Amino acid sequence: MSIKPKLVQWEPTDLKEELLKKYPPKVARKRAKQIMINEATECEAPPEIVANVRTIPGIITMRGCTYAGCKGVIMGPTRDIVNITHGPIGCGFYSWLTRRNQTDPGADGDNYIPYCFSTDMQDQDIIFGGEKKLEAAIQEAYDLFHPKAICIFSTCPVGLIGDDVHAVSRKMKEKFGDCNVFGFSCEGYKGVSQSAGHHIANNQVFTHLVGENKKPKEGKYKINLLGEYNIGGDGFEIDRLLKKCSITNIATFSGNSTYDQFASAQHADLSCVMCHRSINYVADMLETKYGIPWIKVNFIGAKSTADSLRNIAKYFGDPKLVTKVNDVIAEELPEVEAVINDVKERTKGKTAMLFVGGSRAHHYNDLFAELGMKTISAGYEFGHRDDYEGRQVIPGIKIDADSRNIEELEIKPSADEYKARKTPEQFKALEDAGFKFRHYDGLNPDLDKGSIIIDDLNQYEAEKLVELLKPDLFCAGIKEKFSIQKLGIPMKQLHSYDSGGPYAGFKGAVNFYEEIDRLVNSKVWSYMKAPWQENPELTATFVWE
Amino acid sequence: MLLRHTPTEVAERKSLTINPAKTCQPIGAMYAALGIKGCLPHSHGSQGCCSYHRSTLTRHYKEPISAATSSFTEGASVFGGQANLIQAINNIFTVYDPEVIAVHTTCLSETIGDDLKQIAAKAISEGKVPEGKTIIGAPTPSYVGSHVTGFSNMVKAMAQLAEETDKKNGKVNIIPGWVEPSDMEEIKRLATLIGVEITLFPDTSGVLNAPLTGEYHMFPNGGVTVEELKEAGQATGTLALGEWCSADAARWLDAKRKVPCTVLDMPFGLAATDRFIDTLRTIAGASIPESITTERGQLVDLISDMHQYFYGKRVAIFGDPDQVISMCEFLRSIDMYPAYVVTGTPGKKFEKRIKAITADMPFEVKVKAKGDMFLMHQWMKNEPVDLIIGNTYGKYMARDEDTPFLRWGFPILDRQGHQYFPTVGYKGGLRLLEKVLDLLLARKDRDAPQETFELVL
């Protein structure tokens, strides 16, 4: 008893017009540039999309703020650092355990993730300044826990009243001697989205933490995993696979990470970038300063996972590793294939819309492809043009006032620690064989011609898109979940995964197949109307007559 | 051990809050505003606040929470947020067409000194507010009070819609405070049974427990109407439930619109419900129907039947002052001991009330306003309790201390039901006790050695 009306075939251009119709003219003009019909083909240059620009006041956005990107996304999943939010209580409270970053502290390991630390600023602190309180709070945290590091996060009012969190941090670091203290100017009003916060966090981690541990790390094939946050245990599954392949993960930035991981990152020989958006510049900085090359990987989807593992092996070039990786893939794949063969019967031909943070909308496209599902519309919540169009557009991206406020680090090769990982000949041989360093094509080429790509989607457009295109599944975050479901369309969270996960790696792919099968084939979506609503005419007879 | 770093030894902390038992004002204002029919809450500040509040409310209510933001960037933070808010008002009325926009400030817009009244007036004079539409505003800086204060401030802004009048319409205003949509529904049911016409504000029933029908309505069919709020000045009286959540609005109506008010505790548990029903009856000059007396008797019956399991049990409870006060009274009435009581919301009166309620205990309650869960956990480590009552964040302490845990309060992110089943009134009391009993008896069964594991309890 499905109530889904028949699909109306919309021309993409008409659809765009329909989405923009209700807006005031100025808003429509701006949004028009952020809504793109994907026309990428082999001979055409894809059109430009406007991204990483301000949200329009009053238009209900999916976005969060710079603080959320800095404290919530990047530093949140580090387990042995005491993260103190300097500000009124709300920001600390909302970023407390809400991203589902799983943690394994080991038997005796440090784990501050279940804690929320805040200076809980009061009006007196806003009037007279909060530096004294911050200093005392850092001292109290130190006395209570003696952690390896304490990080300070600035909230909106801190920036306004001019508290110098960096000066306070320096002072306390010096005072303690055995505890690294540093701060982030990640006030919520900076930048245009949480993306600015990622940048601020990564820069400070690079400045204050990376390279601190000079002691070499054991391992034959040493990598860093950048842009993996261990949501729902993704990082655990990736680590399981890497370990099985005898690849050593020196540092994950930053799922289930530790102080020492960051501090030792310079010992890796390859950086593997998962979420291009949140962290690509760290990969660049690691390469510039220490000579660690980087590649884009994707562990979302079985095929992507296998490809990524093979690429890592290819980079190290050791036939033993290549064999090992192939063996592991061969061992893992049968279970994956068994499930996909079962599930695909029920998922193929169905359509999905993906509107998630940075890179996720792209990564999950691979998983849906494995299910025989088609992404008909997608976009990023806080992506930049390069996340859509590929890294080749980076030099041409205009720097506006909002981006200019975010610090860019100038990195030079380290005099004593820079080490080229390969000879120029080795690099060339790899590249000639089709290996791609510092390369990312972006989302657009992977989407079909005619699919609708939308940057910074808002609630009104989401609702319209669903009404017009009737997808079988919508993927976004918690704020979008229930308005989409009220429309009778299942909605999967791909920020915090609802209660699911892991979805990375082979076991994750299996979890995901089963979850999507459940969602798109659930009976619940057929219960929207009561029998008397389906057939409301009253007849004058009793049924038992 | 999840909270492995929490030491048993309690050291005084003056500057560092750890594991807060409160959050900030705007989320309360946003929740309250959703209880007005056709209202879009608007957060005047940078967009992260709005995003966080929507996420938390969504996770708690499992319902769409629509709210807009002024999306401040650095420019607005320096030059003021007027341009952003006026642009937002224009966009909101054009795209979403609400009846009301309820604007609340954030720590950012408060610190730069944006004046909501002046900006709203400018929007009106510029023709950005369509005829018949309303804008209300509440100051909710996050560095004052807590989410409870924010709720109270927005409720006061609603009360301020009441027009001056000499007319009386015989209705009673009830301000329910920050309770669940199901609780608001229950209060309305009780009033209907007594035969009293009421104006309940805010009223999130029907808004935040809306049915799944395949249709999405940004403004579901629920909430108090602006018209009703305008007529709140014609009421016989106002019953404010909860000093922290509701009293300000009621007192404003009393002082400025001459509607006499009575401030009561929130009707959780036997005694507080008794007082609520009795006061409502008196104000309205109605008599109580037999059915309500029967409901009361059923609650008393359950208490007497199960008293042996409640008696002498030690409880740690954290949450919002109005809820916690009534709950502590309820616990005492069934001979349980609220041993540790914490709220993050400031207010000296809280500690006094709890001390008074628990004065007949054989030991002194440890109570703290402006406290945090870290402190409460330390107390528990020193002397354990039999039950923890509080919001979802208590689950870490509960697991570490292997203590039964009743989720009650805000936010509850990992369990369902609060939006559908009330805990106010006698029926709500029954549900609360059922939940407490389930926890205590499940524990008894779990811990019993084979020879004392029994069928009949």
Of B18, B24, B393, the CB nearest to A88: B24
Residues of A in contact with B119 (CB under 8 A): none
DSSP designation for B315: E
Alpha-carbon distance of B408 to B21, in angstroms, equals 13
pLDDT over threshold 70, residue B207: yes
Alpha-carbon distance of B102 to A250, in angstroms, equals 50
| pLDDT at position A6 | 43
Q: What is the mean pLDDT of chain B?
A: 97
| pLDDT at position A539 | 64
Task: Give the amino acid at B360.
Answer: D
Enumerate long-range contacts of A467-472, CB under 8 Å, 24 or more apart.
Answer: A468/A8, A468/A10, A468/A15, A468/A18, A469/A7, A469/A10, A469/A15, A469/A351, A469/A353, A469/A376, A469/A377, A470/A4, A470/A5, A470/A7, A471/A351, A471/A352, A471/A353, A471/A376, A471/A377, A472/A350, A472/A351, A472/A352, A472/A373, A472/A520
Is residue A86 within 8 Å of A130, Cβ to Cβ? yes
Q: Are strands A149-154 and A180-184 parallel, antiparallel or unpaired?
A: parallel
Is residue A248 within 8 Å of A272, Cβ to Cβ? no
Is residue B394 within 8 Å of B388, Cβ to Cβ? yes
Query: Measuring CA to CA, which residue among B424, B419, B427, B428 is closest to residue B220?
Result: B419
Q: Where are the beta strands (DSSP E) in B47-145?
A: 68-69, 100-105, 134-138
Asked if A97 is an interface residue toward chain B (Cβ–Cβ < 8 A), one would say yes
Asked if A134 is an interface residue toward chain B (Cβ–Cβ < 8 A), one would say yes
Q: Please give the average per-residue pLDDT across B89-104, as a whole number.
A: 98
Give residues with Cβ within 8 angstroms of B135, minimum separation 6. B89, B100, B101, B102, B103, B120, B123, B124, B129
- The size of the A-B interface in CB pairs under 8 A is 263
Count Cα neighbours of A282 within 13 Å in the Cβ-side half-sphere. Answer: 37
Asked if A319 is an interface residue toward chain B (Cβ–Cβ < 8 A), one would say no
pLDDT over threshold 80, residue B304: yes
Is residue A271 within 8 Å of A293, Cβ to Cβ? yes
Please report which confidence band the pLDDT of residue A108 belongs to, taking 50, 70 and 90 as the band edges: confident
- Best B39, B58, B143, B400 member to test A by mutation, with max A CBs in 10 Å, is B143
- Best A3, A94, A381 member to test B by mutation, with max B CBs in 10 Å, is A94
Alpha-carbon distance of B273 to A64, in angstroms, equals 41
Is residue B335 within 8 Å of B310, Cβ to Cβ? yes
Q: Which has more pLDDT, B379 or A44? A: B379
Is residue A89 within 8 Å of A215, Cβ to Cβ? no
Q: Please give the average per-residue pLDDT across B372-376, as a whole number.
A: 98
Query: Measuring CA to CA, which residue among A318, A315, A321 is closest to residue A294?
Result: A315
Which residues partner with A101 through β-bridges? A231
What percentage of chain A carries pLDDT values higher than 70? 96
Structure tokens of A374? Answer: 């088609």
Which residue in chain B is spatially nearest to A134 when comparing CA positions? B15
The separation between the first and the last C-alpha atoms of chain A, rounded to the nearest angstrom, is 27
| pLDDT at position A5 | 46
Alpha-carbon distance of A134 to A142, in angstroms, equals 12
| pLDDT at position A540 | 63
For residue A222, the distance in angstroms to the closest alpha carbon of chain B comes to 31
| pLDDT at position A3 | 43
Asked if A526 is an interface residue toward chain B (Cβ–Cβ < 8 A), one would say no
Whether the ω angle into residue A105 lies within 30 degrees of 0, i.e. cis, is no
DSSP string, B164-228: P-S-----EEEE--S--HHHHHHHHHHHHHHT--EEESS--TTTSSPPP-S---SS-S-SB-HHH
What is the side-by-side order of every strand in the sheet holding B100-105?
A: B68-69, B39-44, B100-105, B134-138
Which residues partner with A228 through β-bridges? A254
| pLDDT at position A1 | 38
| pLDDT at position A401 | 85
The answer to whether the Cβ–Cβ distance between B71 and A61 falls below 8 Å is yes
Q: Please give the average per-residue pLDDT across B293-298, as a whole number.
A: 98
What percentage of chain B carries pLDDT values higher than 90? 98
- CA–CA distances in Å: residue A324 to residues A242, A295, A327, A353, B333: 11, 20, 5, 37, 68
- For B354-368, what is each residue's pLDDT tens digit? 999 999 999 999 999
Query: Measuring CA to CA, which residue among B182, B350, B338, B188 is closest to residue B265?
Result: B350
Structure tokens of A511? Answer: 């979890």
Query: Measuring CA to CA, which residue among B73, B144, B142 is closest to residue B105?
Result: B142
| pLDDT at position A13 | 87
- Count CB neighbours of B34 within 10 A: 28
Residues of A in contact with B63 (CB under 8 A): 482
Which residue's structure tokens are 């990598």? A223
Q: What is the mean pLDDT of chain A?
A: 94
Q: What angle do CA A522, A523, A529 make, to 5 degrees?
A: 130
3-class SS of residue A541? coil
Which is it for the CA torsion A272, A278, A284, A285, positive or negative?
Answer: negative
The separation between the first and the last C-alpha atoms of chain B, rounded to the nearest angstrom, is 32
Please report which confidence band the pLDDT of residue B260 belongs to, taking 50, 70 and 90 as the band edges: very high
Alpha-carbon distance of B193 to A363, in angstroms, equals 56
Of B26, B55, B71, the CB nearest to A54: B71
Which residue's structure tokens are 């949200």? A55
| pLDDT at position B178 | 98
Please report which confidence band the pLDDT of residue A544 belongs to, taking 50, 70 and 90 as the band edges: low
3-class SS of residue A414? coil
3-class SS of residue A382? coil
Is residue B66 within 8 Å of B40, Cβ to Cβ? yes
Which is it for the CA torsion A323, A326, A328, A331, positive or negative?
Answer: negative
Alpha-carbon distance of A325 to A329, in angstroms, equals 6
- CA–CA distances in Å: residue A186 to residues A66, A162, B73, B284, B421: 6, 13, 12, 54, 41
The answer to whether the Cβ–Cβ distance between A159 and B70 falls below 8 Å is no
A68 as an active site residue: the answer is yes
Query: Measuring CA to CA, which residue among A478, A501, A459 is closest to residue B62?
Result: A478
Which is it for the CA torsion A414, A419, A425, A430, positive or negative?
Answer: negative
A65 as an active site residue: the answer is yes
Q: Please give the average per-residue pLDDT across A413-428, as a whole number.
A: 97
Query: Measuring CA to CA, which residue among B407, B428, B438 is closest to residue B318?
Result: B407
Please report which confidence band the pLDDT of residue A2 belongs to, taking 50, 70 and 90 as the band edges: very low
Please classify residue A405 by burial: count the beta carbons closer than 10 Å to its beta carbon, then call 0-12 exposed, 13-18 middle and 19+ buried.
middle
Alpha-carbon distance of A112 to B85, in angstroms, equals 39
Alpha-carbon distance of B431 to B433, in angstroms, equals 5
pLDDT over threshold 70, residue A525: yes
3-class SS of residue B422? coil
Q: Please give the average per-residue pLDDT across B151-172, as a whole number.
A: 97
pLDDT over threshold 70, residue B17: yes
Q: Please give the average per-residue pLDDT across A478-483, as a whole number.
A: 97
DSSP string, A463-490: HHHHHHH--SEEEE-HHHHHHHHHTT--
- Best B43, B71, B90, B377 member to test A by mutation, with max A CBs in 10 Å, is B71
Query: Measuring CA to CA, which residue among B105, B129, B98 is closest to residue B28?
Result: B105
pLDDT over threshold 90, residue A534: no
Which residue in chain A is spatially nearest to B59 when comparing CA positions? A478
Q: Please give the average per-residue pLDDT across B255-275, as a whole number.
A: 98
pLDDT over threshold 50, residue A394: yes
- For A15-39, what is each residue's pLDDT tens digit? 999 999 999 999 999 999 999 998 7
Q: Report, in angstroms and rounded to the nearest whole number, the Rg of chain B calculated over CA atoms.
A: 23
Task: Give the amino acid at A63.
Answer: R
pLDDT over threshold 70, residue A304: yes
Query: Measuring CA to CA, which residue among B90, B70, B257 is closest to residue B158?
Result: B257
| pLDDT at position A199 | 97
Alpha-carbon distance of A8 to B392, in angstroms, equals 44
Is residue A309 within 8 Å of A333, Cβ to Cβ? no
Q: Which helix (H) or strand (E) segment is A270 a member of?
A: strand A270-273
Task: Give the amino acid at A204.
Answer: Q
- Residue among A51, A68, A268, A275 flagged as catalytic: A68
DSSP designation for B364: P
Helix spans in A21-130 (H): 25-34, 66-67, 89-94, 123-128
DSSP designation for B9: S
pTM for the model stands at 0.97
Alpha-carbon distance of B324 to A123, in angstroms, equals 26
